[in-house]
Chain A
Amino acid sequence: MKINWFTVIAQVINFLILVWLLRRFLYKPVLNAIDEREKNIASQLKDAEAKETKAKKEQAEFARKNETFDKEKKALMDKAIVETNEERQKLLEAARNEATELRSKLDKSLKDMQENLNRDISQKTLQEVFAIARKALADLASLSLEEQSANIFIKRINDLKKDEKKQFVEAFKKGSNLHAGSQGLILIQSAFDLPEKQQAEIKSAVNEVLGTKTQFQFKTAPEIISGIELTSNGYKLAWSISEYLNSLQKNISEMLNDKTIKDETKKAPVEVPAEVPVTEPEKAPIVKPKVKFKIKSEKNK
Chain B
Amino acid sequence: MKLSPDETIFWQHGFITINLTIVTTWAIMLVLVVGSVLITRKLKTGIHISRGQCILEMMVTFMNNQIKEIGLEKPEQYIGFIGTLFLFIAVANLCIIFPWYEAPTGSLSTTTALAICVFMAVPFFGIVKSGIGGYLKSYLKPTFIMLPFNLISEVSRTLALAVRLFGNIMSGGMIVAILLSITPFIFPIVMNALGLLTGTVQAYIFSILATVYIAAAVHDSKPSDKKLQVQTNNKEDKNG
Contact = CB atoms under 8 A, between A and B. Distances in A.
Contacts of A41: 47
Contacts of B70: none
Given A27-B60, A33-B53, A2 B33 contact: no
A44 B61 CA distance: 22
B169 interface: no
Given A19-B81, A25-B36, A30-B40, A14 B29 contact: yes
Q: How large is the interface on B (under 10, 10 to 19, 20 to 34, 35 or more residues)?
A: 35 or more
A33 B109 contact: no
Interface string A111-146: 000000000000000000000000000000000000
B40 A2 contact: no
Nearest to A21: B33
B203 interface: no
A41 B45 CA distance: 10
Contacts of B37: 25
At the interface, is chain A mostly helix, strand, loop or mixed? helix
Given A12-B117, A25-B40, A27-B79, A19 B19 contact: no
A160 interface: no
A46 to B, nearest CB: 15
A180 interface: no
Contacts of B69: none
Contact of B46 (A6, A25, A40): A40
B230 interface: no
Contact of A11 (B25, B45, B81, B83): B25
B116 interface: yes
A44 B44 CA distance: 16
Interface in B72-113: 76, 79-81, 83-84, 87-88, 104, 107-110, 112-113
B80 A23 contact: yes
A298 to B, nearest CB: 121
A1 B108 contact: yes
A182 interface: no
At the interface, is chain B mostly helix, strand, loop or mixed? helix
Contacts of A37: 45-47, 49
Interface string B1-38: 00110100000000111010110011001001100110
Contacts of B178: none
B214 interface: no
A22 B87 contact: yes
B144 to A, nearest CB: 32
Contacts of A11: 21-22, 25, 104, 109-110, 113-114
Given A26-B40, A40-B46, A2 B15 contact: no
A27 B19 contact: no
A44 B47 CA distance: 10
Contacts of B114: 11, 15
Contacts of B83: 22, 26-27
B154 interface: no
B113 A12 contact: yes
A6 B43 contact: no
B29 A17 contact: yes
